[in-house]
Amino acid sequence: MHPLTGVLDPAHLSALTARTEGRPDVVVGVVDGAVDPGHPDLALQPIRFVGAPIPGRDPDAPPGHGTLVVSSLAARPTAPTPGICPGCSFVVRPVPGVDVPPAAPVDLAYALADVVTVGARVVNLSLALQRLPIAGPAGPADDPGIGMLLDTVELARRHGVVVVAAAGNDGELGGPPLVRHPWVIPVVACDDEGRPPPTSTLGRAIGRHGLTAPVLPHELSGTSAAAPVVTGAVALLWSLFPGASAEAVRDAVTRPRSPARRPSVVPPLLDAAYAYEVLRDVSA
């Protein structure tokens, strides 16, 4: 039994972790802050860095945001908190100059394009977008980097790459343009009873094509910790159904057992067991 089974029971992730740790030909992309490749939980794991150079490591510093996100997915099975899909391969693209996100939209666009180009099947974005101090009704959407980022999401869609993004912890309705894109799966964190905290960013688009997920038991919190749960589920589903298309995997993982819940601004809870059933029936 996977050590995280009890923590992730609300999402029924054990239906996947009991069957596989992931396949090495399923490449998981992570775009985040600086990642420490020398972290003991990541020792000997199949992690490749692309794009930005790896920042120097301070041996006395606690693990940073990017290291914790990668560990959520890739930490070796014998680690104190093992990763969700440690048998997969990983491509990591640190965003230059960012340790604790948010990131500039143009930097995020370049980073996402890098991991798509080198073969990621699913990409985790546990970071927020910087907001420009622009007055007027258009607000941060005036940033030309937003259009570039959304174009890069379309690039991911054309390449069959599933994009999972943290919905945000601003306690507002709507969310940034990234999580409103119909190809992106925005993720909202929840407590043990499936309820999102008051700080959650919610909205019609998030409720329509997003998911709620529990958080992993480490220093991360909020949507940064919940997004890797969905990313890991996608990676495990692709490991179990390697011939499935990106559209089929994305549909399976976001399809709720009760379709009537979809009109809400709060997305349904990830149900990995149901996603497995959906793909099993499609693949039969």
pLDDT at 140: 46
**Would you tell me the crossing angle of helices 246-254 and 272-283 to the nearest 10 degrees?**
140
CATH for 9-283? 3.40.50.200
Residue 118 burial by Cβ neighbours in a 10 Å radius (0-12, 13-18, 19+): middle
Taking the C-alpha atoms of residue 167 and residue 179, their distance in angstroms, rounded to an integer, is 6
The alpha-carbon radius of gyration of the chain (Å, integer) is: 17
Domains in the chain: boundaries: 9-283
pLDDT tens readout for residues 256-266: 887 665 668 88
What does pLDDT average to over the chain? 86
Taking the C-alpha atoms of residue 126 and residue 61, their distance in angstroms, rounded to an integer, is 21
pTM, 2 dp: 0.90
Which among 163, 159, 276, 179 is positioned nearest to 230, based on CA atoms? 163
pLDDT at 148: 93
Range from 6-10, 63-67, 252-256 carrying the lowest mean pLDDT:
6-10
Is 39 in contact with 92 (CB distance < 8 Å)? no
